[in-house]
Every structure is written in structure tokens, then in C-alpha cells.
Amino acid sequence: MTLLSNDISIERWTRSSRLALSAMAATIAVLALAPVFLGAGMIDRMTALFIYVILAAMWNALAGFGGLVSVGQQVFFGLGAYFTIRLADAGLNPFVALFVAAIVTGALSIPLSLFMLRLKGGEFAIGMWVVAELVHLLVNLDRLIQGETGTSLISLNVYDSATRRAIIYWLSLVAMTALLGALFTLMRSRAGAAMQAIRDNEDAATSVGVRVIATKRLLFVLAAFGIAVAGGLWLATATTFQPKTYFSVQWTAYMIFMVLVGGIGKFEGAILGAILFFVIETIFGGTGVWYLIGLGATAVLFSLYLPHGLWGEIERRFGLQLLPVGYRLTLPNLLKDKR
């Protein structure tokens, strides 16, 4: 047997990935026109889908790319909504307030990271849940919120329902696109490679000079900001704010479900998982507690039989990468039998 070695190529962009980006750009352009020809109910559902994609992408960034598994990300979802209420009450335009609120939440996540990133594994996961519960209690003490009674984003009432619905839709679409773009760019940078190295082996990453805590903090703050944006957008769609709803662990449970089903650590997986969750909720959401039981059972089945999620299985079987954040080694015709 003679070994014949042709050119070995290392690819980052493939033909399928370029086509995928073009298709995504075209899809976003079409979605931008949706309020013109879709009804009110469909606009609301599409807005919810965009928010789900943000939540899934941010949790996947934290856990799938950074190895920081958290069950307390609802703290940022709730704070995004809470600060939106506070800033709007102070006189800021409600649509501006929701993005300023996300910036405030992201800024607060920096000192929080000084403590939380010292924890590892299960300690970090449970620690974030404890922080979420403490913040929930503190928000309840605000007289504006009136405990669990809550309040409303009444400043939105200056807009008629059609205008308000369209603005929230467009803001959600822009936020989703911008956050996905920022995350994709980050994960393809040196910092992104460092994050994945930390996830795979923190000690090894440290030994080659990776600044572990600083790199983790970057991802922690980005996830906090993105989830806070989602919280503010959800508040804008619902208009009412009740702490027990926005600081509920169910939000993190939804994030985990979407990422597990779609494919943890896969950029495409978070998007696919959010779409699947959206479809399931749309069809079965009205079945009450059985819907939640079904979500839990589905997550368990995927963990047992498809641990890499749907996209992970597609990638394994067909080698398809639409939005690659790493490199791909191609070995064409490496071995040829010339007997």
C-alpha cells in the first residue's frame, strides 16, 4: 500500500456556510417586512420566537462555549424587566429604557462575576440560583413594584396597539440579529478560542497563557446583557411586571431545554432548539401542566439518546456546518491503495 498525500486544507468557511449566511440575511430582510402583511397574533408569536432565540443563544454561549452551567440566569431576565420599569418611571422612553436597562444589568454583572466566577461546576450553577432568589426578594422591597402584586409599563400606553406591536417586533428582530452577530464574531476570535479551551480543560488553558477569569467574565457579561435585553422585550410585549414571573427558574429551564434539544456547544443548535421549543409551545402550550411534563420528558430523552442534540447528530452524520465557529480539517484522498 502506498500512501499518497494530496493537499491538506484547513477551512473556516465552507460553501454551505456561505450559503447559510446568505439565506439568513435574506430571511431577516423578509422578516423585517412581516408587520406589513401578518396579523397581530402572528406578530406577537414571532416576537416571542426572537426572544427565545436570544435566550437560547446566550445560555448556550455561557454553558456550551464557556462551560459555565447556570440555573440562575433568570436573575438577568428579571433585572432587565425591572430596570426597564424603573427607568420608564423616571421619564425615559420605554423603548429606550429597555436597552439602557440591559446595559445597567450588564454593568452590574461585572462586580457579580468577581464572586461567582470563583465557583466551579455545581457550585457555580447553584450559586447563580441563590443570587437570583436574593435579587427577587430585594426587588419585592421596592415600593414601586408593590411586592408580588407588581406593576405595569404604563408609559407604553401613549402608543396605539398596532404601532406598539410593530415597534416591539422590529426591536426584537434587531436585538436578535445583533446579539447573534456579536456572539458569532466573538466565538470566531482569539477570545472565542480561549473560551472553548477553558471549557475543554481549564488547567491546560491556563498553562498556555489564557487569562481564565478575564475570559470567563467577558462571556458572563455578554450573557447577562443579552438575557436582560430579552427580559425587557418580554416586558414590552406583556406590559405587566410581577417579580415571581420574571425571576422564575422556569426561564432558565426553558433555556436549558432549547440548548439541550438543539445541541449544546453548537451555534446552530441554539437557534434550532429555540425554533423547536416555539413550535411545541405553539401547538401544546394550552395543555397546562402536561405541557411542562412533556418538556421535561423530552429533555431527559434527548440527554439519554441524543446527548449532542439534534444539530449535533446532523453534524455527526452528514458533516454539515452552517455557522462554524472553529476550524475544519479536510484530508482529501489521503490514502489510496495502489496494489
154: CATH:
1.10.3470
Which domain, by its residues, includes 306? 9-330
Note whether residue 314 is domain-resident.
Answer: yes
Place of cell 439518546: 305
Note whether residue 75 is domain-resident.
Answer: yes
Q: How does residue 120 score in pLDDT terms, banded at 50, 70 and 90?
A: confident
pLDDT greater than 90 at residue 284? no
Percent of residues, the chain, with pLDDT higher than 70? 92
pLDDT for 101 equals 96
Would you say how long the chain is, in residues? 339
pLDDT greater than 80 at residue 208? no
Residue 46: its H or E element: helix 40-59
Buried b (16+ CB within 10 A) or exposed e, 293-322: eebeebbeebeeebebbbbbbbbeeeeebb
Q: Considering only residues 179 and 10, tell me which one the structure prediction assigns the higher pLDDT.
A: 179
Task: Round to whole Å and give the CA distance between 277 and 54.
Answer: 13
**Lowest-pLDDT choice from 17-26, 54-63, 319-328:** 319-328
Task: Round to whole Å and give the CA distance between 23 and 125.
Answer: 36
- Report the range out of 24-38, 168-182, 294-308 with the highest average pLDDT: 168-182
pLDDT greater than 60 at residue 6? no
Q: How does residue 19 score in pLDDT terms, banded at 50, 70 and 90?
A: confident
136-170 residue pLDDT tens:
999 999 989 988 888 988 888 888 888 999 999 99
Q: How does residue 189 score in pLDDT terms, banded at 50, 70 and 90?
A: confident
- Asked if 239 and 65 count as a contact pair (C-beta separation under 8 A), the reply is no
DSSP letter assigned to residue 333: T
Note whether residue 103 is domain-resident.
Answer: yes
Task: Round to whole Å and give the CA distance between 172 and 211.
Answer: 34
Note whether residue 336 is domain-resident.
Answer: no
pLDDT for 159 equals 87
- Tell me the pLDDT of the chain averaged across its residues: 86
Q: Exposed, middle or buried, 284 (CB in 10 Å: 0-12/13-18/19+)? A: middle
Q: Please state the rounded mean pLDDT for residues 183-200.
A: 84
Task: Round to whole Å and give the CA distance between 283 and 291.
Answer: 10
Note whether residue 338 is domain-resident.
Answer: no
pLDDT for 334 equals 45
Task: Round to whole Å and give the CA distance between 178 and 230.
Answer: 13
pLDDT for 293 equals 80
Q: How does residue 319 score in pLDDT terms, banded at 50, 70 and 90?
A: confident
The sign one gets for the Cα dihedral 144, 145, 150, 156 is positive
220-258 residue pLDDT tens:
999 999 999 999 999 999 989 999 999 999 999 999 999
Number of structural domains found in the chain:
1
pLDDT greater than 80 at residue 8? no
Task: Round to whole Å and give the CA distance between 209 and 205.
Answer: 7
Q: Considering only residues 287 and 14, tell me which one the structure prediction assigns the higher pLDDT.
A: 287
Note whether residue 77 is domain-resident.
Answer: yes
pLDDT for 2 equals 39
pLDDT for 338 equals 38
pLDDT for 23 equals 87
Nearest one of 51, 97, 83 to 234, comparing CA atoms: 51
Place of cell 447559510: 20
pLDDT for 292 equals 78
Task: Round to whole Å and give the CA distance between 187 and 253.
Answer: 24
- Asked if 285 and 293 count as a contact pair (C-beta separation under 8 A), the reply is no
Question: What's the longest Cα–Cα distance across the chain?
Answer: 84
Note whether residue 335 is domain-resident.
Answer: no
Tell me phi and psi for residue 184, to 5 degrees.
Answer: -60, -45
48-85 residue pLDDT tens:
999 999 999 999 999 988 889 999 999 999 999 999 99
Rg, C-alpha atoms of the chain: 21
Place of cell 468557511: 13
pLDDT for 326 equals 63
By DSSP bridging, strand 328-330 and strand 240-241 are unpaired
